[in-house]
Structure formats: C-alpha cells, structure tokens
Amino acid sequence: MRADRLISIVLLLQQRKKICADKLAEELGVSVRTIYRDLVVLSANGFPIYAEHGPGGGVCMIDEYQGGVKTLTVEEVDALQMMRIPDPLTSLETGKTMQRALLKLFASLPNQPERSPNLYIDWNWWGRSKSKEGSHLERIYNAVCNRQSLQVSFPLWNRMEFEQEIDPYGVVAKAGEWYLVYANAGRCRMRRISDFRNITVTSRTFIRPEDFDLESTWKRLCLEEEENYFLYVVEIRFSPELIPYLHEPTWGIPFRIQEISPDIEAHGWRRCTLAFENLATARNYLLGWGNAVEVISPLALRASIQDFAQQINMVYQE
C-alpha cells in the first residue's frame, strides 16, 4: 500500500538521516522511479526532504525537523481515530502488522479525545461482513511476493471453464472484494479472486516490469472495465409501471440506459434501449420484470427468455 510505503520512507529518513534512492527502493521492494514519485508527494505535503547529488549523496530530511506524534493537533488526533484496517486486509499478515502499528500509534498519541468519533468508515460492501476468501488470497499474495506464475481456471459467462497461466503482479481490495492484477499475453488484466476455481502455484518465476505501478495500473483497468462493461445492447417495450425502476438507482444494477423513446404506445407502453454485460445478465434481470417488459431485440435474447418462461410455467403447472 502506498500510504504504508510513505510512512516507511519518513521513518527510514528519520532513523538514518541519509539514504540513497536505490537503497530505499531495494528495502521497500519498488522501483527507483516509484521512490522518486513518493518523495515528490512527501515534499508536497510538507515534509522537509531534499536530495544531495554526487558521491556520498542521498535523500535527507533536515536535522531541525521535529516530526512525530508530539506535534499533532487535537483535530489531527481526532482524524487519526477514524483510521481502521479494512476487514479484507486483516486476512493477510500485512493487515495484522498494520493493526499492531496502529495500536502502538494510538497508545502514544497526545490530546486523545474522549468522545466517540463523528465519522466511521465501513469499507465492506453489503453482504461481505462475514465472507471469507478462503486459502486463495494467501496463496495468491505469496505468489505475488515471490514472483511465481499461477495456473488458474475461472468460469466464463456461458458457464464454460477457462484455464490459463498468468503472472500475478499485485492484489487490490475494493468494496469488500479482493482482486488480482495479473499479466497474460503481454497485457495487464484484473479479476476477482473469488472467481478463480482452481489455483496452482507453478515453479516458473517472472520479472515484473521495473516501471510497474499497482495503483495507476488498477485505476486504468477500472476505467477500461467500466467503459467496456455494457456492450450487449437490448431493445425493449416496457409498461409505465417500470418507469421508477428504470430511473431510480438500485444496488447492483446491471444495465445502462442508452435511450428512452418519447413516443407513447397503447396503454402507456414505451420503447427503451438498454446495455447489459451479456445475454445471461440481460435475461436474468429482465425475467424479474415479468409481463411488464417485452424484449424486441436481439432475437437470441427474446428466444432465451421465452424458453426460460416456458420451463418455469411447466414447473408450476404440475
């Protein structure tokens, strides 16, 4: 985590007074370019860091700097009280280490407020409070740290299982879910760890690119995922009773509205174009609207919904 790395840089500079960027990069397991970016961030946030060039040079922090918990204000201490380790991170040893570090930090804080904080951040998505990733997460994280390739399998949307060998670059926790950022066929990708069915750590090792940055790569992949997620275009006719469900946001909504026709047909019905991830997602969601919706196109979706409706009707006719 970048925040953890920034804190480590400050502590190393306070302890050793001067250290070269190469040594910082080696100790923290990142590239020299990443260290330089972190130093710029620290400097921009008020840490008096400077660099000495030439033989015997390195990264320094001015001797007069008296940083530490004794300089914290009441407001800063109040804000620190909101710091909590997200539940998914506690399943890794890194999370447990951070918890111990926070306990030591809070024990040494001055001016600690006795009142309860006014803000609490719950990092988990609904339904994730008691979920566990099992042994997959620890195994994958160790493979990332050891730069070992993985042989994995996961289901496709059509329920077929796909198997491939990947190079795990890093793990990311987002909204209570763990994701793996990995390389395959020369391209970085991401996938939920809970989607993997089988995971085998291979004996093959790999070299992660020197300029790879997990945070920026993750943000780019998220943008690509959001842009390419809704590609299955569906045209429907819908009853006026569905208008609130189209416009009001709901949890886990799987479609995006592309167009709603202003023309009103018989009995107040209208036409609408929606975009889903795939046929299966569209079918499963539209079936929940019952007879308040009719699929116009594509014909494959229309036929699939007819088939599912007939099967359901047969069950309840018995």
* Per-residue model confidence (pLDDT) at position 111: 60
Q: Compute the Cα dihedral for 258, 256, 195, 182 and give only its sign.
A: positive
Rounded to an integer, the average pLDDT of 11-32 is 81
Beta strand residue intervals within the chain, DSSP E: 18-19, 49-52, 58-61, 148-155, 161-174, 177-184, 187-192, 198-205, 232-238, 256-260, 270-276, 293-297
Segment (H or E) for 160: none
Q: First and final CA of the chain: distance in angstroms?
A: 57
Mean pLDDT calculated for residue range 145-149: 95
Of 253, 292, 307, the C-alpha closest to 276 is 253
Residue 123 forms part of a structural domain: no
pLDDT at 306: 94
Of 35, 67, 99, which residue constitutes the final position of a domain? 67
Clarify whether residues 237 and 261 are in a common domain.
yes
Is the pLDDT assigned to residue 180 strictly greater than 90?
Answer: yes
Q: What is the per-residue pLDDT across 284-315, written as a single tens digit (0 to 9) for each?
A: 999 989 999 999 999 999 999 999 999 998 99
90 domain-assigned: no
Does residue 108 fall inside a structural domain? no
175 and 241 share a domain? no
**β-pairing, 232-238 with 270-276?**
antiparallel
Q: Give me the domain span that covers residue 144.
A: 136-229
Beta bridge partners of 238: 270, 293
Residue 31 counted as domain residue: yes
Note whether residue 155 is domain-resident.
Answer: yes
pLDDT value, residue 214: 93
**In a 3-state reduction of DSSP, which class is residue 213?**
coil
- In this structure, are 144 and 220 located in the same domain? yes
142, 155: one domain? yes
Whether residue 258 is found in the same domain as residue 224: no
217/68: higher pLDDT: 217
- Provide φ and ψ at 296, rounded to 5°: -90, -45
Share of the chain above pLDDT 90, in %: 34
Instruction: Give domain status of residue 269, yes or no.
Output: yes
Give the integer Cα–Cα distance in Å for 286 and 279: 10
**Same-domain pairing of 289 and 255:** yes
252 with 197, same domain: the answer is no
Amino acid 178: pLDDT: 87
Q: Does residue 79 belong to any structural domain of this protein? A: no
CATH of the domain at 42: 1.10.10.10
Sheet containing 18-19: give its strands across. 18-19, 58-61, 49-52
CA pair distance 150, 9, nearest whole angstrom: 31
Radius of gyration of the chain (CA): 26
Across 17-26, 232-241, 309-318, which has the greatest mean pLDDT? Answer: 232-241
Instruction: Give me the number of domains the chain comprises.
Output: 3
Q: What is the CATH number of the domain that holds 194?
A: 2.30.30
Q: Report yes or no on 84 lying in a domain.
A: no
| Segment 188-203, tens digit of pLDDT | 999 989 889 889 999 9
Q: Single out the residue in 229, 262, 289 at which a domain terminates.
A: 229
More confident residue, 123 or 255: 255
Determine the pLDDT at residue 201. Answer: 95
**Shared domain check, 252 and 215:** no
Q: 237 and 224: one domain?
A: no
Question: Average pLDDT, stretch 11-34?
Answer: 81
Q: Which of 174, 196, 229 is the last residue of a domain?
A: 229
Q: Residue 239: which CATH number? A: 3.30.70
**305 against 10, higher pLDDT:** 305
Q: Mean pLDDT throughout 253-277?
A: 91
pLDDT confidence bin for 277, thresholds 50/70/90: confident
pLDDT of residue 226: 78
Tell me how far apart the alpha carbons of residues 219 and 215 are, in angstroms, rounded to a whole number.
6
71 vs 192: CA distance, rounded Å: 42
* Lookup: tokens for 59: 């990264």
Which of residues 235 and 109 earns the better pLDDT score? 235
Q: What is residue 6's predicted lDDT score, i.e. its pLDDT?
A: 78
Q: What 8-state DSSP symbol labels residue 116?
A: P
